[in-house]
């Protein structure tokens, strides 16, 4: 955060100010702008072009300029907020520095906003954040708890990624990348898993674990940590801290909440008996949990959501109802439709552990041949985890690879999808690599047959392949 003299800005809902957002049209930035707008802040911003999100903000009374320009930084602005994508040479950023206006990054603003709520629940982990946040959100909505929610994907029941409630309860995803979550002010933290990822930022797994430990240290005295006891040496994250620790996981002997008798329906969706301290929870049918999303990984996501809800005094009936009404978020084993009798599912999986979980879920989903059209995400991740990507993808019957989705990187790693294809082939799995989506679509149209399952997979825009085929 930039200081103006010795002054460090604090957001106080009782003292609304004028906040200007550089890049207000991003999905996360626009959500934070909506919250401030709702709290009677004066909100302005800028972006490269008008979009449905900026049009909606304008309808709420926000003043938005296109494109970005130093002239947009006016003397009446009290605080400037920017995203990680904005660099010091950005004309508005540079002008705000020259004018001595206090500035903060998007993650810092999110942390400042949650400090205005009595209860702030932060859901963290290398994967499963969006799903677990959405599960907990559905539970809280079923209980009429009226939370404010900030989720990383589109949750259909709130019509987007943000919901502004009237209660003193705030729920958000907490991302570890660039240590964003170390700017947050939680009262309850959920840690789903801690794995190797974002190795373009973190040095190694030990560095990632240290970051998660510091995240837990953000909790106040007497705050609550819900953590997966399957994480190696999970006690490391809370050792010596005065916080309440609740565990969830596969082992009833070391987990406050666990699952027994996990069974699948014909769409791979799970049913299980909820255990607390090794015994069925509650009376009669209270311990019987039905999920509407496939995969055993979602059993553990749901256990974390249940633990949080129970800690928030949500009745078990509302918890069961919320989970039974959660059909997933965009790009999480999302059924897109059918072409030529082939079912198309899209999934955001872009890390070996996520691929493993998705393909395990697909194993319980009806199909003849399982096809995966995978678009690797980031040169650094592909290079560093190449063998693991090959091992997990080889669980599919047939794999199609697209070019690596570069996102924020340039290819200084000397890696391509051809390297991944060769590794997968060496493991005995049929694999093909095409440079364009058009080539991939034509190949799949010609080779997939009635009864097959096609999963488009990755954090880039590979979902367009499935959408085109279904059209």
Active-site hit among 92, 173, 176, 334? 173
412 in catalytic set: no
- Residue 381 buriedness (CB in 10 A; 0-12 / 13-18 / 19+): buried
Active-site hit among 54, 92, 129, 132? 129
Q: Is 414 a known ligand-binding residue?
A: no
Integer angstrom CA distances of residue 438 from 442, 449, 468: 6, 19, 9
Q: Is 271 a known ligand-binding residue?
A: no
The answer to whether the Cα torsion of 445, 446, 451, 453 is positive or negative is negative
Integer angstrom CA distances of residue 13 from 17, 40, 105, 113, 135: 9, 8, 18, 8, 28
Distance of CA 446 to the CA centre of its chain: 34
239 in catalytic set: no
Q: Is 273 a known ligand-binding residue?
A: no
Active-site hit among 54, 92, 108, 130? 130
Q: Is 198 a known ligand-binding residue?
A: no
Strand partners, 81: 21, 104
CB 154 within 8 A of CB 346: no
Q: Is 128 a known ligand-binding residue?
A: yes
Q: Is 160 a known ligand-binding residue?
A: no
Q: Is 129 a known ligand-binding residue?
A: yes
203 in catalytic set: no
Main-chain dihedrals φ then ψ at residue 399, nearest 5 degrees: -120, 135
Buried b / exposed e over 93-119, threshold 16 CB at 10 Å, is bebbeeeebbbbbbbbbbbbbbbbbeb
The closest alpha carbon to 374, from 387, 355, 356, 395, belongs to: 355
Reported as half-sphere exposure (CB side, CA atoms, 13 A), residue 403 has a value of: 9
CB 201 within 8 A of CB 175: no
**Binding-site sequence positions for ATP:** 125-131
Indicate which residues carry an active-site annotation.
129-130, 173
Residue ranges of the annotated binding site are: 125-131
């Amino acid at each position: 955060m930039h200081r103006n003299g010795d002054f460090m800005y604090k957001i106080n809902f009782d003292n609304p100010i004028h906040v200007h957002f550089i890049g207000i049209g991003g999905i996360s930035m626009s959500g934070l702008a909506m919250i401030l707008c709702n709290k009677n802040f004066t909100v302005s911003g800028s972006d490269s072009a008008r979009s449905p999100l900026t049009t909606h903000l304008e309808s709420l009374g926000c003043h938005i300029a296109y494109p970005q320009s130093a002239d947009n930084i006016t003397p009446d602005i009290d605080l400037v907020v920017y995203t990680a994508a904005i660099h010091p040479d950005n004309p508005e950023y540079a002008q705000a520095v020259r004018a001595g206006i206090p500035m903060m990054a998007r993650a810092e603003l999110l942390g400042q906003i949650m400090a205005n709520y009595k209860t702030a629940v932060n859901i963290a982990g290398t994967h499963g954040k969006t799903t677990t946040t959405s599960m907990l959100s559905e539970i809280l909505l079923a209980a009429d708890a009226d939370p404010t929610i900030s989720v990383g994907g589109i949750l259909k029941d709130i019509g987007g990624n943000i919901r502004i409630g009237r209660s003193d309860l705030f729920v958000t995803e907490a991302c570890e990348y660039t240590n964003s979550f170390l700017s947050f002010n939680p009262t309850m933290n959920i840690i789903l898993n801690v794995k190797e990822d974002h190795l373009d930022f973190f040095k190694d797994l030990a560095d990632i674990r240290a970051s998660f430990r510091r995240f837990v240290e953000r909790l106040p005295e007497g705050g609550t940590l819900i953590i997966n006891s399957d994480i190696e040496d999970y006690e490391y994250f809370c050792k010596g801290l005065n916080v309440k620790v609740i565990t969830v996981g596969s082992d009833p002997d070391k987990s406050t909440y666990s699952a027994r008798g996990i069974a699948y329906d014909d769409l791979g969706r799970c049913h299980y008996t909820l255990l607390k301290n090794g015994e069925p929870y509650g009376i009669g049918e209270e311990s019987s949990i039905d999920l509407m999303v496939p995969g055993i990984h979602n059993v553990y996501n749901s256990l974390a959501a249940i633990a949080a809800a129970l800690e928030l005094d949500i009745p078990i009936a509302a918890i069961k109802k919320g989970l039974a009404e959660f059909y997933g978020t965009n790009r999480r084993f999302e059924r897109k439709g059918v072409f030529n009798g082939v079912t198309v599912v899209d999934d955001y999986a872009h890390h070996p552990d996520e691929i493993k979980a998705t393909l395990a879920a697909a194993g319980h989903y009806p199909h003849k041949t399982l096809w995966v059209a995978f678009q690797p995400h980031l040169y650094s991740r592909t290079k560093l985890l190449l063998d693991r990507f090959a091992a997990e993808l080889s669980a599919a019957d047939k794999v199609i690879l697209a070019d690596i989705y570069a996102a924020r990187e340039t290819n200084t790693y000397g890696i391509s999808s051809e390297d991944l294809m060769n590794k997968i082939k060496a493991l005995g799995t049929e694999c093909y690599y095409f440079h364009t989506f058009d080539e991939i679509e034509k190949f799949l149209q010609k080779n997939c047959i009635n009864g097959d399952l096609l999963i488009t997979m990755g954090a880039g825009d590979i979902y367009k392949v499935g959408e085109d085929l279904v059209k």
